[in-house]
Chains A and B, each alone.
Chain A
């Protein structure tokens, strides 16, 4: 199947710094990628839909200035957590679809710990 890769898999940063997480579709082009957040022992919550070449669509309650999403190419979307604080510590997961509303493939996730 198609492969989606996230980098880094784990990042620790100081409060106030910004952190960038990458999501790549390795063997297919993805016009649409999705970013989720997962708190410990809780479900995945959709944060935003990332469309190549256009602005991301954020879910209600997600701060777009806090979580910057860029989808500059058909194989790469990035999530930047700006001015991170301890409450931003979480597991961030991306997914990409193989074609228009095709099957979704998930990345392995990125764990962010803000000290």
Chain B
């Protein structure tokens, strides 16, 4: 079954601390994975996708097929990173996304 698991509902860190938001997936084919972010009172927006291998706002995510993971990392968290983060898996064609439950990141001063 195709599934995305984000084990942490809440991740609370202090400003400047490293951050890792965990994401594991279950998919039989070659996965295409994304991280979406939702800031307070704003709409969901794309943060990064693994095929582009880019770094956005200091965040990176590496696809590890052996561990079926796509963890989101940032070496030094900022207060403005506080948001809800969703890991998503592309299921088949037509941009059908399967979302994880989401992790709320709270960065404290």
To the question of whether A and B form a pair in one complex, the answer is yes
Binding site for B on A (CB under 8 A): 1, 4, 32, 34, 41-46, 49, 93, 95, 97, 101-109
- DSSP class of B's interface residues: helix, strand, loop or mixed? loop
Q: Which of B43, B86, B95, B96 contacts A43 (CB 8 A)?
A: B86
Q: Interface of chain A, helix or strand or loop or mixed? A: strand
Which listed residue (B93, B98, B99, B100) contacts A101, Cβ 8 A? B93
Tell me if B68 counts as interface (CB < 8 A to partner A): no
Given the known interface contacts A43-B86, A44-B86, A93-B44, the answer about A104 and B101 at a Cβ–Cβ threshold of 8 Å is no
Instruction: Please name all residues of chain A whose beta carbon is closer than 8 Å to the beta carbon of B17 when the two chains form the complex.
Output: none
Count of A-B residue pairs with CB < 8 Å: 43
* Smallest CB gap from B42: residue in A: A108
In Å, the complex CA distance between A88 and B93 comes to 28
Distance A4 CA – B97 CA, assembled complex (angstroms): 17
Assuming A43-B101, A43-B102, is B43 touching A32 (CB within 8 A)? no
